[in-house]
Amino acid sequence: MYAERQPADLLAALPDGGGLAEGPWLVRWDAVAGKAEDLVMTALPPVVELSTSGSTGAQRTWARTREQLWAEAGLLAGLLGPDRPEAVLSFAPPRHLYGLLVSVLVPARLGLPVWYRSQYGPMPPEDAARRWAVTAIPWTFSLLLQRRSWVRAAERVSVLHSTAMLPATAGELVVSAGADRLTVTEIFGSTETGGVATRRWAPGNPPWELFPDVTFADPRATGEAPLTVRGPRLARSAGGDPLTTWQLDDHVEILDERRFRFAGRRSRLVNVNGRRLNLDELETSVRAALPCADLALVPVRDPVIGEHFDLLLVPGEAARAGSFDVRAAFAETGVRPRRLRLVDRIDRSETGKLRRLRDADAPDETA
């Protein structure tokens, strides 16, 4: 059951979340039409502090004003508005920047009811709306594939995704539902920058386009380079000055003054025997070939060739130690991990990002 909460009560529990991530709950922003902005500006503190996920280093707190948050919610709402959604279903925990935006402020901007669902719980009733905006994190797509009847009952499903690389299940969902019924819009950004760029999902690697208020720090730059941007929504460190530019942990190929192609996160690019590998893409390609509960590829230093990667694998109920055909799983990639490490669990953030290995003493297997 979804517990109905009043907009003012929801806002009072922010910005730390106050248990809001547990869900499920329903907030009727449509019941306060015309008053949402006043409610938000009154309830939120002038400066809101939010933490990074810890996926690329120690967690760090960054601050931004409520006006910056409201402005960004407007940009995201603008991506969904043309599809005329009647309700929002969100899976993003509101204690982080993306979740605060899409689970709270974007529905407020749109003036729509928002159903927040954590990983466990029922789907909203099929007849609650005909046209849905779904704000997603990576595991959302697997869940929607399991709930195909809910998706097919809708006239239109507009999915907004951020926080990590889009999983292969997103493409499967589009094919299953039909591109005329379901579309996926991606957001590229970070806690430090907020949303930087967006694109509509399509096969291959279509270019990203900067949000209207974002520019490259060097607008004349071309070719591959670290992504460095300017914009009015950059955060500031807690107690520090606002950022004027920020270099993300990403390599991109700059195409022109407004567009780029993503090459890979700096921490997820490794050069193995002269071949550069994007571990996020490689992980996606082998995941379906290995029966397991979870897996991750992690970069390591190698005393002989300098850079390599290890495969961390959590056995599932259908698989046991010694039954993994790692060579077959990696056959089409032309590379193999340096070693296989069987672990009890892989430490991830609540949005699915890899943080660090919890069981450092896990046994090794030859890969």
Question: Per-residue pLDDT for 366 more than 50?
Answer: no
| Mean predicted lDDT score pLDDT of the chain | 87
Higher pLDDT among residues 318 and 103, named by residue: 103
CATH number of this structure's domain 3-264: 3.40.50.12780
Higher pLDDT among residues 187 and 220, named by residue: 187
The answer to whether the beta carbons of residues 200 and 183 sit under 8 Å apart is yes
Average of per-residue pLDDT across 304-318: 80
Digit-coded pLDDT (tens) for 1-17: 889 999 998 998 886 66
pLDDT at site 84: 98
Digit-coded pLDDT (tens) for 233-273: 999 987 788 899 999 988 899 999 999 998 887 778 787 87
The answer to whether the beta carbons of residues 134 and 144 sit under 8 Å apart is yes
Average of per-residue pLDDT across 61-84: 96
Digit-coded pLDDT (tens) for 121-165: 899 999 999 999 999 998 899 999 999 999 999 999 999 999 777
Name the burial class of residue 204, with classes exposed (0-12), middle (13-18) and buried (19+) by CB atoms within 10 angstroms of its CB. Answer: exposed
C-alpha to C-alpha distances, 334 to 37, 243, 275, 285, 296, nearest whole angstrom: 54, 42, 10, 12, 18
pLDDT at site 53: 63
Quick one: pLDDT band at residue 361, thresholds 50, 70, 90?
very low
Question: Per-residue pLDDT for 342 more than 50?
Answer: yes
Q: Where are the alpha helices (DSSP H) in the chain?
A: 7-12, 36-43, 66-80, 97-100, 106-110, 140-146, 148-153, 168-177, 279-287, 326-329
pLDDT at site 358: 39
Digit-coded pLDDT (tens) for 272-305: 876 778 888 888 888 878 878 888 999 888 776 6
User: Does domain 273-365 bear CATH number 3.30.300.30?
Assistant: yes
Q: Domain limits of the chain?
A: 3-264, 273-365
pLDDT at site 1: 82
Average of per-residue pLDDT across 45-63: 77
Higher pLDDT among residues 52 and 255, named by residue: 255
